Amino acid sequence: MIPARPSARVIDALGFLTIAAYGSWFYGFGVLVEDISADLGTGVGALGAVYGVTTLAGGAGAVAVGRLLDRRGPRTVAGIIGPLASAAYALSSFIDDGAVFCAVFAIAGGAISASGFYSFTQPVAMSVRPDDTVRAVTRLTIWGAFASPVMIPLTEVMRDAWGWRGAVRGTSVALFLVFALVASMTRTMAPVATGPVQPLRSVVRRAASSPFLRWYAGSAMLSSAAISSLLVFQVPVMKWAGLTAAAAASFAGARGLLQLFGRLPLVPLVARFGAWRLQFAGRAALVAGAAALWASGSAAAAVAYVIVVGASTGALAAVDGMVSREVLDGDSFATLMSMVGLVGTVGGALGPVGVGLLVQGTGSLGVVPAVVVVAASASVVAHVRAGLLRSAGVRP
């Protein structure tokens, strides 16, 4: 049963966890990477590869966490896995060998993302408010929008005061405490699954054989590839288009903050248009955002990029979870949601790699918006195909 505390307080605690988890290795890495490289003698390129491996490890770990949510509820994840992941992240700050650091960092970061990212917090939030999942996810993701604006400056303050090792330890302590808070507030919650939990082999076999789920997951993968490519290369492309480095960085930072524009009005928008249509609109908007990025040497185009991509990526982070609740079977909901998330993670990890190779091969950053337009357009086509199958009654 859901704890007696008001559901909004539980969702707020999940929001704090989202901020701390995303703000740890995921956003903090960019602040600390040069110091880590200089101290441990590990090249920035090697650390970047470890970052990619950690991202994929988190996606794979999310499937195991989803299984735990379906079978046992959030208490094991928030009370055991999350605190151990926080401790492992703190442990990495005591390591002097570069190779050992990379291994521990990848394990810790993967466990943190599996137990603290949206693949965990969204299913729990929807279980807290099963009568109003739209409002629950919206409230959660509004908190999540502050992860970057809060944790990047805070990590820099800690790095400046205590060095990179102290910054990792400070972040780990905060993360440990928030996991403990969530564990306390969700300790009596029932499993997420709304029916008898099916064997994992049966869930995987059923998912792989579903045409709807294949198209739906493919759309998620292509959308993630487009978004990650935009975010990784947005500053270089703006500079290529004619902006100064300072202006490009400012516009990129504003894009992160404008995610709120895509989340604040979601409750009335979902009530009017439905989550499925908003998901389509968000993915289609990426095409327009990429075109604006290509022309971002103009201030007007740069502003358009910030608004369109900021609002669309902000909305998609929430709407993707809402749509999952609508279309995925309740008897293995968290497992299926994390499996789709893993496919999206693969796209998000591989997208920038492929775009980077194309930039290197062509010698021009102008290829980035073109590739994003193709990936986002293909995502829209896959979404439409999934929608047609859904209308025909084909489900996972």
The percent helix, strand, coil of the chain (3-state, each to 5) is: 85, 0, 15
- For residue 235, pLDDT beyond 90: no
Find, among 371, 138, 177, 170, the residue nearest to 271 by Cα.
138
What is the fold, at CATH topology level, of the domain defined by 200-391? Growth Hormone; Chain: A; (1.20.1250)
Confidence band (pLDDT; 50, 70, 90) for 66?
very high
Q: Using one digit for the tens of pLDDT, what is the confidence trace for 89-145? A: 999 999 999 999 999 999 999 999 999 999 999 999 999 999 999 999 999 999 999
Q: How far is CA 87 from the centre of its chain?
A: 22
- For residue 180, pLDDT beyond 80: yes
Cβ proximity of 337 and 119 under 8 Å: yes
Tokens of 173: 């302590």
- For residue 197, pLDDT beyond 80: no
Domain with CATH 1.20.1250.20 in the chain: 7-185, 200-391
- Half-sphere exposure of residue 180, counting CA atoms within 13 Å on the CB side? 8
Calculate mean pLDDT across residues 56-77. 94
Report the predicted TM-score, pTM, of the whole model to 2 decimal places.
0.89
Cβ proximity of 166 and 158 under 8 Å: yes
Residues 6 or more apart in contact with residue 275 via CB below 8 angstroms:
134, 319, 322, 323, 326
How would CATH label the architecture of 7-185? Up-down Bundle (1.20)
Give the whole-angstrom CA distance, residue 306 versus residue 300: 10
